[in-house]
Amino acid sequence: MKEHIQRVMHSSKKSDWRTPPELFEKLSAEFDFTVDVAANTENHLSRFHPSDHLWFGPGGQEPDGLTADWQERSCFMNPPYSRGNKKLGIPSEPIEPWLKKAWVESQDGATVVGVLPFNPQTQWFRWYVMGEERGNSHFFAAMEVRWLTHRVTFNRPDGTPADNAPGNTCIVVWRPNPGYVGPWTPAVRYWSYR
């Protein structure tokens, strides 16, 4: 029991988890993904659609998804994020740059579907998912948020199942919204991929 608790508590220190194939397949059937924007050689999901599904990140078509052009594509995004561990010398990987990129690219024509931790108490969630107002700046809301009805069991980079995620997961969809000015609220609903 103690070993399991330690694995769960420290699982957020890794940032290379692979999305379970059944979750990816259900989303891909709906959104017809053309690129996995936040992947690497070990955890990309293009193997499920080798003829038409590319990935951005180490070993992929573009070396860095944050600097690549996502425009007018259907993008799958399971961004790297971790709290790190200063004592062990493990740096944190913030999620906010990925969410800002998703919103910006959606305004330029991309549809971006993100698999994210459901953390509504965080600033990044309030700003880039729910569109909370930030002074006089833009409203970066997603178009849709799907709260999963169960915990996700992510896979290790080699594809073997790991433990359930230490927290809840949600699916966030940013869609093109050209010409719209002003705040909006994303549509929110419960959803299951099983």
Q: What is the pLDDT of residues 97-149, one digit of tens each?
A: 999 999 999 988 999 999 999 999 998 898 889 887 766 555 678 999 999 99
> How many residues does the structure list for the chain?
194
131 Rama class: left (phi>0) / alpha (psi -120 to 50) / beta = left
Whether this model's pTM surpasses 0.95: no
Does residue 87 or residue 165 have the better pLDDT?
Answer: 165
2.30.30, 3.40.50, 2.40.30, 3.30.360: CATH of 2-191: 3.40.50
Cα 140 to Cα 138: distance, rounded to the nearest angstrom: 6
Domain edges within the chain: 2-191
With b for 16 or more beta-carbon neighbours within 10 A and e for fewer, the 9-32 pattern comes to: eebbeebebbbbeebbebbbeebe
Is a pLDDT exceeding 60 seen at residue 93? Answer: yes
| Confidence category of residue 9, pLDDT binned at 50, 70, 90 | very low
30 membership: H or E segment, kind and range: helix 21-31
* Residues of the chain above pLDDT 90, percent: 37
Is a pLDDT exceeding 90 seen at residue 182? Answer: no
Mean pLDDT of the chain: 79
Q: What is the pLDDT of residue 61?
A: 84
* Whether 36 contacts 56, CB under 8 Å: yes
Which tokens hold the place of 163? 């433990």
* Whether 127 contacts 140, CB under 8 Å: yes
Q: What is the pLDDT of residue 32?
A: 92
Q: Which residue has the tokens 């993100």?
A: 114
